Structure 1
């Protein structure tokens, strides 16, 4: 009997183990495949990124190459400072602020909790705009960020109002700013809008990279240690032993962020050759995980896509070679595209790209003299992804290829007489 019982017990154990294994197969991926900060579940996606939300775009065109839950707004933590950084750059560009302006630190900026990222400003300290900007861009210093905001708008609340005004004007529909630093979980934005803001910064203010690429910065001579850039993925970090595992060739920006409600976030950008990508990952599980997940996006991007130019700049579009004008020496002027039409397409594929729309200004809106390179219309091309079936439209301007001079009064008079008799003849023909 003992000999019979033992095999029965073994079979029971095997059966139970198989049952558990089957349960893990069925339910396991949902619980262990991907988790974010504080064991929050990540959003299922084809790249197996452990994120709640993410997006990858090509910087020049803004074309979306990958996204998961990208339209949903979440707390963005210190990625909020991208807007603060943008506004300061705008102030400098418009000469309302200068890099060399000296700012005296206020009590309001000094009032920063010890747990926050900061450079420990004291009331009465004097620092230039540039010094404070570096502390914000490199070390995500909340006190430096507050001081810059106060300098621009007079108070933190006034600057928050300015942030929301800029967000509206820039078309960041999901953005709600309640602080200049992102410390509050009520400051939210979608990954798609964060990427859009990052792209605007890159295109409008390339000088941003003068700051985002700094590996470290000694804020005061008496400081024991420099501020270390919180973007561990900087390509230059390949020479830093502690950060080398995260260094990614071509990465030169942009902004990290963390609060408990947001998890570990990162807005990054990378450029190799003539291709630049912008990425956002939100709610990863750890400080380092945000860089690991971002690297997956960049590996996917460079391994999967290539540029496909449909038309080079200054191309003539068939059937749109000229546009009619009034009062010119000639009745028409030649037109061309103002820039190239380029899509990111899957490598090794023959993409389906077609002209889907065209629009020209009416003749009575184009009165000579007209300068060369004057916008007179648009053309739109569409690329349809063969795998997803998702259409992507790209619109460029049509511009005059040469100057259109105004005709003299005598020529205009003869033309008017000719038009009169031509119209009269046509009216007579229409009577019969």
Structure 2
């Protein structure tokens, strides 16, 4: 057979070339969605680790304490963990524990420079007519902010408290607005204040009673939350709350005695040594006929601080004996253990994808350590975690080191405590990623396109 003519060979080559181009175009078009997705938005990614389900050692039941209270709570402030709870969310009259909010706000105003501790306060009519626990201020008496603050914190002086509230806000009711606003900001769910002192409405000077109905109420949990803010936002609180006695005026025959019998320093005072508690340096007592006897206490041992609240005990002494039970329960049974170190890698999540960068991915670590309250002498075993990543389209170079890419929530359950402990920290990039040049990104796109193309061809067969 002879060779085909040059015309036939040329026509056959053209047909073959056209077919090849058409096939290539079809395959390229089929790869375009994948290429577009590589630069588009992806859904938020959630990963859960459930490999470990072991719970920690069991702690004694709260009922074993046989607390004689209307309500009580015990928290560790740095983790926020509730270690003990008895009717803790029930709103009750807090009596002079109300003054913790006044103390917080006055100290905060000094801290922020609104006025100074040595500023002089002129006592007004409202303060001079305020009854109950007091230092017998007269209208136009003058004392420094610090002198009145000590009288309030140590002796629970109602008249000194009102004088400070009026000095800080112009009137007691304007100050009360700040108290209620701050309670909401702190997440205190039941707290409602009608005055700066905790006195019942009927015991306030009639002229200065609020027009709105109601009384001051605050749950044990809200008191603990307030105590938490005091010790964390004003770590020098004990400079005042731990004062055992204070002579307010030179002419006074007797000094003000701190109503808090549990102060550690009282271990050498004959009348109080039976109540003195190691490490205790605050916070505030309270008593009215309606409230009974209340106490928000805080103590620190071996680097761990606890905050306790008892409300509605039948006597002054009982509020301290019940507080001892509550604090002992915490210190004897719990300790803080670090479960995850800061800047830790996450199992199963070494890196996340980065778009338009010199690198296509970046390492991920936690931004802070995670600690839990654990049964004393045990390890923080049985911790599980859940990750939540940001949408992928937000991770576009350039990206700085430490950029947030999501969150991780750790959960730890102690047998004997109703609610599991949870702590959420951020996931951040461990390195920086510079933006890639247009040439690098172009060739990367070509590479990805042909990778998808040949994967598509391979899958046809």
TM-score, normalised by the number of residues in structure 2 = 0.76
**1:177 maps to what in 2?**
193
**Separation of aligned partners in 2, 1:328 and 1:225:** 74
Deviations 1:363-384 (A, max 9, x none): 5545666665555432211111
- Report the structure number with the largest CA radius of gyration: 2
**Separation of aligned partners in 2, 1:303 and 1:282:** 22
Displacement, 1:387? 3.3
**2:184 maps to what in 1?**
168
List gaps (5 residues or longer) in structure 2.
1-61, 202-214
**2:146 maps to what in 1?**
130
In structure 2, do the counterparts of structure 1 residues 129 and 355 end up closer, same or farther at CA, with 3 Å as the change threshold?
same
In structure 2, do the counterparts of structure 1 residues 370 and 160 end up closer, same or farther at CA, with 3 Å as the change threshold?
farther
Matches within 5 A, 1:141-156: 141-156=157-172
**Separation of aligned partners in 1, 2:345 and 2:182:** 37
Correspondence 1:413 to 2:431: no
In structure 2, do the counterparts of structure 1 residues 144 and 346 end up closer, same or farther at CA, with 3 Å as the change threshold?
same
Correspondence 1:306 to 2:306: no
Contact 1:45 1:68 in 2 (8 A): no
**Separation of aligned partners in 1, 2:233 and 2:316:** 29
Contact 1:56 1:277 in 2 (8 A): yes
Corresponding pairs, count: 383
Correspondence 1:71 to 2:89: yes
Considering Cα pairs closer than 8 Å and 6+ residues apart, tell me whether 1 or 2 has the greater RCO. Answer: 2
**1:108 maps to what in 2?**
126
Displacement, 1:414? 2.9
Matches within 5 A, 1:247-262: 247-262=276-291
**Separation of aligned partners in 1, 2:225 and 2:160:** 25
Matches within 5 A, 1:368-387: 373=402, 375-387=404-416
Deviations 1:109-167 (A, max 9, x none): 21212xx1112222222222222111111111111111111122111111111111111
Contact 1:355 1:379 in 2 (8 A): no
Displacement, 1:303? 1.7
Deviations 1:58-104 (A, max 9, x none): 12211111111111111101101111111112222222222222222
SS in 1 for 2:277: coil
**1:284 maps to what in 2?**
313
In structure 2, do the counterparts of structure 1 residues 131 and 329 end up closer, same or farther at CA, with 3 Å as the change threshold?
farther
**2:79 maps to what in 1?**
61
SS in 2 for 1:188: coil
**Separation of aligned partners in 1, 2:154 and 2:398:** 50
**1:30 maps to what in 2?**
none
**2:98 maps to what in 1?**
80
For the aligned residue pairs, the C-alpha RMSD in angstroms reads: 2.5
**2:376 maps to what in 1?**
347
**1:158 maps to what in 2?**
174
**2:64 maps to which of 46, 64, 76:** 46
Displacement, 1:333? 4.7
In structure 2, do the counterparts of structure 1 residues 120 and 363 end up closer, same or farther at CA, with 3 Å as the change threshold?
farther
**2:5 maps to what in 1?**
none
Contact 1:82 1:255 in 2 (8 A): yes
Correspondence 1:293 to 2:322: yes
In structure 2, do the counterparts of structure 1 residues 83 and 388 end up closer, same or farther at CA, with 3 Å as the change threshold?
closer
**Separation of aligned partners in 2, 1:151 and 1:211:** 20
**Separation of aligned partners in 2, 1:239 and 1:83:** 31
In structure 2, do the counterparts of structure 1 residues 377 and 50 end up closer, same or farther at CA, with 3 Å as the change threshold?
same
List gaps (5 residues or longer) in structure 1.
1-43
**Separation of aligned partners in 2, 1:387 and 1:57:** 15
SS in 1 for 2:437: helix
TM-score, normalised by the number of residues in structure 1 = 0.81
In structure 2, do the counterparts of structure 1 residues 370 and 166 end up closer, same or farther at CA, with 3 Å as the change threshold?
farther
Contact 1:78 1:181 in 2 (8 A): yes
Deviations 1:321-366 (A, max 9, x none): 4455567665555443333222222235565532232223345545
**Separation of aligned partners in 1, 2:404 and 2:135:** 49
Contact 2:372 2:380 in 1 (8 A): no
**1:359 maps to what in 2?**
388
Correspondence 1:231 to 2:249: no
**Separation of aligned partners in 2, 1:247 and 1:47:** 20
**Separation of aligned partners in 1, 2:267 and 2:243:** 14
Correspondence 1:93 to 2:111: yes
Displacement, 1:290? 0.4
**2:51 maps to what in 1?**
none
SS in 2 for 1:310: strand
